[in-house]
Homo-oligomer: A and B are copies of this chain.
Amino acid sequence: MTDQHSPAPASTLPPIIALDAMGGDHGPAEIVPAALSVLERYAAITLILVGQRDVLEPILKQHGVEESDRLRIHHASQTVEMHELPSMVMRNKKDSSMRVAIDLVKDGEASACVSAGNTGALMATARFVLKMLPGIDRPAICATMPGTNGPTHLLDLGANVDTSSEQLLQFGIMGSELVSAVNNKSDPTVALLNIGAEEIKGNDQVKQAASLLSQSPINYAGFVEGNDIFTGKVDVIVCDGFAGNIALKASEGVAEFISQQTRAEFKRSLYGKFAALLSMPVLNAIRHKLDPRRYNGASLLGLRGIVIKSHGSADRVSFAHAIEEAIIETRKNVPERICNELETVLNERRDN
Protein backbone atom coordinates (compact mmCIF):
# COMPACT_ATOMS: atom_id res chain seq x y z
CA MET A 1 0.00 0.00 0.00
CA THR A 2 1.44 3.43 -0.85
CA ASP A 3 2.12 5.34 2.29
CA GLN A 4 0.50 8.68 1.49
CA HIS A 5 -1.13 8.74 4.91
CA SER A 6 0.08 7.55 8.28
CA PRO A 7 -1.77 4.58 9.73
CA ALA A 8 -3.89 5.04 12.82
CA PRO A 9 -1.62 5.21 15.87
CA ALA A 10 -1.41 2.08 17.97
CA SER A 11 -3.74 2.28 20.94
CA THR A 12 -2.13 3.16 24.25
CA LEU A 13 -5.09 2.13 26.41
CA PRO A 14 -4.86 -1.34 27.94
CA PRO A 15 -7.11 -3.83 26.12
CA ILE A 16 -10.37 -4.80 27.82
CA ILE A 17 -11.78 -7.92 26.15
CA ALA A 18 -15.38 -9.04 26.61
CA LEU A 19 -15.74 -12.83 26.35
CA ASP A 20 -19.04 -14.47 25.44
CA ALA A 21 -18.46 -16.99 28.24
CA MET A 22 -21.51 -19.14 27.44
CA GLY A 23 -20.84 -19.64 23.70
CA GLY A 24 -19.42 -22.61 21.82
CA ASP A 25 -19.68 -26.35 22.32
CA HIS A 26 -17.95 -26.32 25.71
CA GLY A 27 -19.02 -22.93 27.15
CA PRO A 28 -17.45 -21.64 30.38
CA ALA A 29 -15.79 -24.98 31.23
CA GLU A 30 -13.15 -24.19 28.59
CA ILE A 31 -13.54 -20.42 28.26
CA VAL A 32 -12.79 -19.65 31.94
CA PRO A 33 -9.46 -21.58 31.96
CA ALA A 34 -8.60 -19.97 28.59
CA ALA A 35 -9.15 -16.55 30.18
CA LEU A 36 -6.99 -17.45 33.19
CA SER A 37 -4.10 -18.61 30.99
CA VAL A 38 -4.21 -15.40 28.95
CA LEU A 39 -4.24 -13.26 32.12
CA GLU A 40 -1.10 -15.06 33.28
CA ARG A 41 0.70 -14.28 30.06
CA TYR A 42 -0.47 -10.68 29.50
CA ALA A 43 0.04 -8.21 32.32
CA ALA A 44 -1.82 -5.10 31.20
CA ILE A 45 -5.17 -6.46 30.08
CA THR A 46 -8.63 -6.93 31.55
CA LEU A 47 -11.06 -9.71 30.66
CA ILE A 48 -14.83 -9.57 31.18
CA LEU A 49 -16.64 -12.88 31.42
CA VAL A 50 -20.12 -12.22 30.06
CA GLY A 51 -22.71 -14.79 31.13
CA GLN A 52 -24.79 -16.24 33.92
CA ARG A 53 -23.23 -15.26 37.23
CA ASP A 54 -24.50 -18.38 39.02
CA VAL A 55 -22.77 -20.57 36.43
CA LEU A 56 -19.55 -18.58 36.19
CA GLU A 57 -18.84 -18.02 39.90
CA PRO A 58 -18.58 -21.73 40.79
CA ILE A 59 -16.22 -22.31 37.85
CA LEU A 60 -13.96 -19.47 39.00
CA LYS A 61 -14.03 -20.99 42.49
CA GLN A 62 -13.06 -24.41 41.08
CA HIS A 63 -9.98 -22.76 39.61
CA GLY A 64 -9.24 -21.07 42.93
CA VAL A 65 -9.72 -17.52 41.66
CA GLU A 66 -12.08 -14.68 42.49
CA GLU A 67 -13.33 -11.71 40.54
CA SER A 68 -10.79 -8.91 40.38
CA ASP A 69 -10.05 -5.71 38.47
CA ARG A 70 -8.51 -7.84 35.75
CA LEU A 71 -11.21 -10.53 35.59
CA ARG A 72 -14.80 -9.38 36.00
CA ILE A 73 -18.11 -11.16 35.59
CA HIS A 74 -20.76 -9.24 33.69
CA HIS A 75 -24.11 -10.94 34.16
CA ALA A 76 -26.23 -11.81 31.13
CA SER A 77 -29.27 -13.99 31.72
CA GLN A 78 -29.64 -15.69 28.30
CA THR A 79 -27.55 -17.92 26.07
CA VAL A 80 -27.59 -18.34 22.29
CA GLU A 81 -27.84 -21.91 21.04
CA MET A 82 -25.76 -23.12 18.09
CA HIS A 83 -28.77 -23.88 15.91
CA GLU A 84 -30.78 -20.70 16.57
CA LEU A 85 -31.70 -18.50 13.62
CA PRO A 86 -29.95 -15.10 13.65
CA SER A 87 -33.28 -13.31 13.23
CA MET A 88 -34.70 -15.04 16.33
CA VAL A 89 -31.56 -14.31 18.34
CA MET A 90 -31.76 -10.62 17.42
CA ARG A 91 -35.40 -10.45 18.46
CA ASN A 92 -35.53 -12.68 21.55
CA LYS A 93 -32.01 -12.83 23.01
CA LYS A 94 -31.26 -9.24 23.93
CA ASP A 95 -29.80 -10.27 27.27
CA SER A 96 -27.70 -13.13 25.88
CA SER A 97 -24.01 -13.41 26.66
CA MET A 98 -23.27 -12.88 22.95
CA ARG A 99 -25.37 -9.75 22.60
CA VAL A 100 -24.20 -8.20 25.88
CA ALA A 101 -20.53 -8.82 24.99
CA ILE A 102 -21.06 -6.91 21.73
CA ASP A 103 -23.02 -4.17 23.56
CA LEU A 104 -20.00 -3.67 25.85
CA VAL A 105 -17.85 -2.97 22.77
CA LYS A 106 -20.44 -0.56 21.43
CA ASP A 107 -20.63 1.31 24.76
CA GLY A 108 -16.84 1.59 24.95
CA GLU A 109 -16.65 -0.58 28.07
CA ALA A 110 -14.68 -3.21 26.17
CA SER A 111 -12.21 -2.73 23.32
CA ALA A 112 -13.06 -6.06 21.64
CA CYS A 113 -15.16 -9.17 22.11
CA VAL A 114 -14.63 -12.86 21.45
CA SER A 115 -17.33 -15.49 20.89
CA ALA A 116 -17.32 -19.20 20.02
CA GLY A 117 -21.08 -19.06 19.43
CA ASN A 118 -23.31 -19.41 16.38
CA THR A 119 -21.56 -17.61 13.48
CA GLY A 120 -24.70 -16.36 11.79
CA ALA A 121 -26.09 -14.87 15.00
CA LEU A 122 -22.75 -13.30 15.91
CA MET A 123 -22.42 -11.68 12.52
CA ALA A 124 -25.98 -10.38 12.40
CA THR A 125 -25.83 -9.06 15.96
CA ALA A 126 -22.40 -7.44 15.51
CA ARG A 127 -23.54 -5.77 12.32
CA PHE A 128 -26.76 -4.52 13.93
CA VAL A 129 -25.17 -3.27 17.16
CA LEU A 130 -21.79 -1.98 16.00
CA LYS A 131 -22.68 -0.96 12.41
CA MET A 132 -20.36 -1.13 9.41
CA LEU A 133 -17.44 1.16 8.67
CA PRO A 134 -18.27 3.75 5.98
CA GLY A 135 -17.76 2.21 2.53
CA ILE A 136 -18.18 -1.41 3.68
CA ASP A 137 -21.37 -3.30 2.83
CA ARG A 138 -21.10 -6.38 5.04
CA PRO A 139 -18.57 -7.92 7.44
CA ALA A 140 -16.08 -10.45 6.08
CA ILE A 141 -14.63 -13.34 8.04
CA CYS A 142 -10.85 -13.51 7.86
CA ALA A 143 -8.64 -16.30 9.23
CA THR A 144 -4.96 -17.13 9.22
CA MET A 145 -3.94 -20.25 7.30
CA PRO A 146 -0.56 -21.90 7.88
CA GLY A 147 1.71 -22.37 4.85
CA THR A 148 5.09 -23.63 3.69
CA ASN A 149 6.59 -20.13 3.48
CA GLY A 150 4.54 -18.54 6.27
CA PRO A 151 0.90 -17.79 6.96
CA THR A 152 -1.70 -16.37 4.58
CA HIS A 153 -4.85 -14.48 5.56
CA LEU A 154 -7.91 -15.76 3.72
CA LEU A 155 -11.20 -13.88 3.44
CA ASP A 156 -14.19 -14.12 3.15
CA LEU A 157 -14.90 -17.44 4.83
CA GLY A 158 -18.66 -17.47 4.59
CA ALA A 159 -20.16 -14.15 5.67
CA ASN A 160 -21.08 -13.25 2.09
CA VAL A 161 -22.37 -15.76 -0.44
CA ASP A 162 -23.01 -13.53 -3.43
CA THR A 163 -20.09 -11.16 -3.54
CA SER A 164 -19.72 -8.26 -5.95
CA SER A 165 -16.37 -7.21 -7.42
CA GLU A 166 -16.65 -4.04 -5.32
CA GLN A 167 -16.89 -6.19 -2.18
CA LEU A 168 -13.86 -8.24 -3.25
CA LEU A 169 -11.95 -4.95 -3.46
CA GLN A 170 -13.16 -4.07 0.06
CA PHE A 171 -11.96 -7.48 1.29
CA GLY A 172 -8.56 -6.76 -0.27
CA ILE A 173 -8.28 -3.45 1.53
CA MET A 174 -9.39 -4.93 4.87
CA GLY A 175 -7.08 -7.94 4.59
CA SER A 176 -4.15 -5.76 3.64
CA GLU A 177 -4.67 -3.44 6.60
CA LEU A 178 -5.12 -6.35 9.01
CA VAL A 179 -1.85 -7.98 7.95
CA SER A 180 0.08 -4.73 7.91
CA ALA A 181 -1.21 -3.95 11.44
CA VAL A 182 -1.04 -7.36 13.09
CA ASN A 183 2.09 -8.72 11.38
CA ASN A 184 3.88 -5.34 11.09
CA LYS A 185 4.25 -6.01 7.39
CA SER A 186 4.37 -3.01 5.11
CA ASP A 187 2.77 -3.31 1.70
CA PRO A 188 1.41 -6.87 2.06
CA THR A 189 0.65 -8.74 -1.17
CA VAL A 190 -3.01 -9.38 -1.97
CA ALA A 191 -4.17 -11.98 -4.52
CA LEU A 192 -7.53 -13.11 -5.86
CA LEU A 193 -8.50 -16.77 -5.58
CA ASN A 194 -9.26 -18.18 -9.02
CA ILE A 195 -9.48 -21.48 -10.86
CA GLY A 196 -7.00 -23.19 -13.12
CA ALA A 197 -9.02 -23.84 -16.22
CA GLU A 198 -7.63 -21.67 -19.00
CA GLU A 199 -9.56 -19.14 -21.09
CA ILE A 200 -12.65 -19.29 -18.90
CA LYS A 201 -10.44 -17.99 -16.10
CA GLY A 202 -12.83 -17.07 -13.33
CA ASN A 203 -16.32 -15.69 -13.19
CA ASP A 204 -17.27 -12.10 -13.97
CA GLN A 205 -16.92 -10.85 -10.39
CA VAL A 206 -13.34 -12.14 -10.16
CA LYS A 207 -12.37 -10.60 -13.51
CA GLN A 208 -13.84 -7.24 -12.54
CA ALA A 209 -12.28 -7.39 -9.08
CA ALA A 210 -8.88 -7.97 -10.70
CA SER A 211 -9.29 -4.73 -12.58
CA LEU A 212 -10.44 -2.82 -9.46
CA LEU A 213 -7.57 -4.18 -7.34
CA SER A 214 -4.92 -3.40 -9.93
CA GLN A 215 -6.14 0.21 -10.08
CA SER A 216 -6.14 0.55 -6.27
CA PRO A 217 -3.18 1.41 -4.03
CA ILE A 218 -3.23 -2.21 -2.79
CA ASN A 219 -0.13 -4.30 -3.59
CA TYR A 220 -2.11 -6.56 -5.93
CA ALA A 221 -0.35 -9.79 -6.88
CA GLY A 222 -2.80 -11.27 -9.41
CA PHE A 223 -4.59 -14.61 -9.36
CA VAL A 224 -3.66 -17.60 -7.23
CA GLU A 225 -5.17 -21.10 -7.14
CA GLY A 226 -6.53 -23.06 -4.18
CA ASN A 227 -3.24 -24.78 -3.36
CA ASP A 228 -1.60 -21.38 -2.79
CA ILE A 229 -3.67 -20.95 0.37
CA PHE A 230 -1.03 -23.24 1.93
CA THR A 231 2.15 -22.05 0.24
CA GLY A 232 2.36 -18.62 1.86
CA LYS A 233 3.10 -17.19 -1.60
CA VAL A 234 1.03 -14.08 -0.81
CA ASP A 235 -0.03 -12.38 2.43
CA VAL A 236 -3.75 -12.07 1.70
CA ILE A 237 -6.07 -14.13 -0.51
CA VAL A 238 -9.48 -12.71 -1.34
CA CYS A 239 -12.52 -14.72 -2.47
CA ASP A 240 -16.29 -14.83 -2.14
CA GLY A 241 -17.62 -16.39 1.05
CA PHE A 242 -19.00 -19.46 -0.67
CA ALA A 243 -15.67 -20.50 -2.22
CA GLY A 244 -13.76 -19.44 0.91
CA ASN A 245 -15.92 -21.48 3.27
CA ILE A 246 -15.67 -24.52 1.03
CA ALA A 247 -11.88 -24.15 0.73
CA LEU A 248 -11.59 -23.91 4.53
CA LYS A 249 -13.86 -26.86 5.28
CA ALA A 250 -12.36 -29.04 2.51
CA SER A 251 -8.91 -28.34 3.96
CA GLU A 252 -10.09 -29.30 7.45
CA GLY A 253 -11.60 -32.44 5.94
CA VAL A 254 -8.47 -33.57 4.15
CA ALA A 255 -6.28 -32.83 7.20
CA GLU A 256 -8.61 -34.91 9.37
CA PHE A 257 -8.63 -37.72 6.80
CA ILE A 258 -4.81 -37.80 6.63
CA SER A 259 -4.52 -37.73 10.41
CA GLN A 260 -7.08 -40.53 10.80
CA GLN A 261 -5.38 -42.71 8.16
CA THR A 262 -1.98 -42.12 9.73
CA ARG A 263 -3.19 -43.09 13.22
CA ALA A 264 -4.89 -46.20 11.84
CA GLU A 265 -1.74 -47.32 10.00
CA PHE A 266 0.49 -46.90 13.07
CA LYS A 267 -2.04 -48.88 15.12
CA ARG A 268 -2.53 -51.64 12.58
CA SER A 269 0.34 -53.89 13.71
CA LEU A 270 2.54 -54.48 16.74
CA TYR A 271 5.45 -53.21 14.67
CA GLY A 272 3.50 -50.05 13.85
CA LYS A 273 2.77 -49.43 17.53
CA PHE A 274 6.47 -49.87 18.31
CA ALA A 275 7.43 -47.44 15.51
CA ALA A 276 4.84 -44.94 16.77
CA LEU A 277 6.28 -45.15 20.29
CA LEU A 278 9.81 -44.52 19.03
CA SER A 279 8.62 -41.72 16.73
CA MET A 280 6.54 -40.08 19.48
CA PRO A 281 8.77 -36.99 19.92
CA VAL A 282 8.73 -36.38 16.16
CA LEU A 283 5.00 -37.10 15.81
CA ASN A 284 4.28 -34.72 18.70
CA ALA A 285 6.38 -31.99 17.10
CA ILE A 286 4.47 -32.46 13.82
CA ARG A 287 1.16 -32.38 15.68
CA HIS A 288 2.18 -29.15 17.40
CA LYS A 289 3.29 -27.51 14.15
CA LEU A 290 0.06 -28.46 12.36
CA ASP A 291 -2.19 -27.84 15.39
CA PRO A 292 -5.21 -25.91 14.06
CA ARG A 293 -5.77 -24.49 17.57
CA ARG A 294 -2.81 -22.18 17.00
CA TYR A 295 -4.74 -20.53 14.19
CA ASN A 296 -8.05 -20.14 16.04
CA GLY A 297 -9.66 -16.70 16.10
CA ALA A 298 -11.14 -15.36 12.88
CA SER A 299 -11.69 -11.61 12.57
CA LEU A 300 -15.06 -10.15 11.59
CA LEU A 301 -13.71 -7.27 9.52
CA GLY A 302 -15.50 -4.13 8.41
CA LEU A 303 -17.31 -3.44 11.68
CA ARG A 304 -16.97 -0.37 13.88
CA GLY A 305 -15.37 -2.51 16.54
CA ILE A 306 -13.32 -5.66 17.01
CA VAL A 307 -15.19 -8.97 17.02
CA ILE A 308 -13.29 -12.26 17.02
CA LYS A 309 -15.02 -15.53 16.14
CA SER A 310 -13.59 -18.62 17.79
CA HIS A 311 -14.23 -22.08 16.37
CA GLY A 312 -17.33 -23.52 18.04
CA SER A 313 -15.46 -26.61 19.20
CA ALA A 314 -12.54 -24.63 20.65
CA ASP A 315 -10.95 -25.94 23.85
CA ARG A 316 -9.05 -23.75 26.32
CA VAL A 317 -5.82 -23.69 24.28
CA SER A 318 -7.70 -22.81 21.15
CA PHE A 319 -9.95 -20.16 22.76
CA ALA A 320 -6.89 -18.52 24.36
CA HIS A 321 -5.49 -17.95 20.85
CA ALA A 322 -8.72 -16.20 19.86
CA ILE A 323 -8.41 -13.91 22.91
CA GLU A 324 -4.83 -13.11 21.92
CA GLU A 325 -6.01 -12.13 18.44
CA ALA A 326 -8.45 -9.69 20.10
CA ILE A 327 -5.64 -8.21 22.21
CA ILE A 328 -3.37 -7.67 19.20
CA GLU A 329 -6.13 -6.13 17.08
CA THR A 330 -7.03 -3.79 19.94
CA ARG A 331 -3.43 -2.69 20.38
CA LYS A 332 -3.09 -2.07 16.65
CA ASN A 333 -6.41 -0.26 16.27
CA VAL A 334 -7.42 -2.41 13.30
CA PRO A 335 -10.88 -0.93 12.60
CA GLU A 336 -9.52 2.62 12.56
CA ARG A 337 -6.72 1.63 10.21
CA ILE A 338 -9.18 -0.03 7.83
CA CYS A 339 -11.39 3.04 7.99
CA ASN A 340 -8.50 5.37 7.12
CA GLU A 341 -7.33 3.23 4.24
CA LEU A 342 -10.82 2.95 2.80
CA GLU A 343 -11.14 6.70 2.86
CA THR A 344 -7.86 7.03 0.96
CA VAL A 345 -8.94 4.55 -1.69
CA LEU A 346 -12.35 6.16 -2.14
CA ASN A 347 -10.82 9.67 -2.32
CA GLU A 348 -8.23 8.58 -4.89
CA ARG A 349 -10.94 7.10 -7.01
CA ARG A 350 -13.01 10.28 -6.77
CA ASP A 351 -9.99 12.37 -7.81
CA ASN A 352 -9.28 10.28 -10.92
Which A residues fall within an 8 A CB radius of B?
83, 85-87, 118-121, 123-124, 146-148, 158-159, 161-162, 193, 195-200, 202-204, 225-231, 239, 241-243, 245-258, 260-262, 265-266, 268, 271-272, 274-276, 278-279, 281-282, 285-286, 289-290
Interface centre among A148, A162, A265 (most CB of B within 10 A): A265
Interface centre among A148, A204, A245, A257 (most CB of B within 10 A): A257
**Given A251-B251, A258-B290, does the pair A198, B121 have CB atoms closer than 8 Å?**
yes
**Chain B residues near A120 (CB, 8 Å)?**
197-200
Extra 17 A-B pairs, beta carbons < 8 Å, given A225-B249, A243-B243: A85-B199, A124-B199, A148-B261, A203-B242, A226-B248, A226-B250, A227-B249, A227-B252, A230-B257, A250-B250, A251-B251, A251-B253, A254-B255, A261-B289, A268-B285, A271-B282, A272-B281
Task: Provide the bound-state CA to CA distance between A229 and B228, in Å.
Answer: 19
Task: Provide the bound-state CA to CA distance between A146 and B257, in Å.
Answer: 9
Task: Provide the bound-state CA to CA distance between A85 and B198, in Å.
Answer: 7
Whether A196 contacts B289 by the Cβ 8 Å rule is no
CB distance from A202 to the nearest CB of B (A): 6
**Given A119-B197, A243-B246, does the pair A254, B251 have CB atoms closer than 8 Å?**
yes
A83 (CB) vs chain B CBs: closest residue? B198
The dominant DSSP class at the A interface is helix
**Given A230-B253, A250-B251, A260-B148, does the pair A245, B279 have CB atoms closer than 8 Å?**
no
8 contacts between A and B (CB under 8 A): A120-B199, A124-B199, A161-B203, A226-B248, A227-B256, A229-B253, A266-B282, A276-B282
Task: Provide the bound-state CA to CA distance between A301 and B239, in Å.
Answer: 27
What is the total number of copies of this protein in its complex?
A: 2
Whether B226 contacts A247 by the Cβ 8 Å rule is yes
CB distance from A246 to the nearest CB of B (A): 4
Question: Which of B196, B198, B245, B279 contacts A197 (CB under 8 A)?
Answer: B245
Question: Which of B86, B200, B203, B241 contacts A198 (CB under 8 A)?
Answer: B86
Which 7 A-B pairs rank lowest in CB-CB distance, beginning with the nearest?
A: A226-B249, A227-B253, A120-B198, A226-B250, A230-B253, A195-B245, A275-B279
CB distance from A92 to the nearest CB of B (A): 15
Whether B278 contacts A197 by the Cβ 8 Å rule is no
Task: Provide the bound-state CA to CA distance between A49 and B100, in Å.
Answer: 70
**Chain B residues near A272 (CB, 8 Å)?**
281-282
Whether B227 contacts A196 by the Cβ 8 Å rule is no
**Chain B residues near A197 (CB, 8 Å)?**
119-120, 123, 158-159, 161, 241, 245
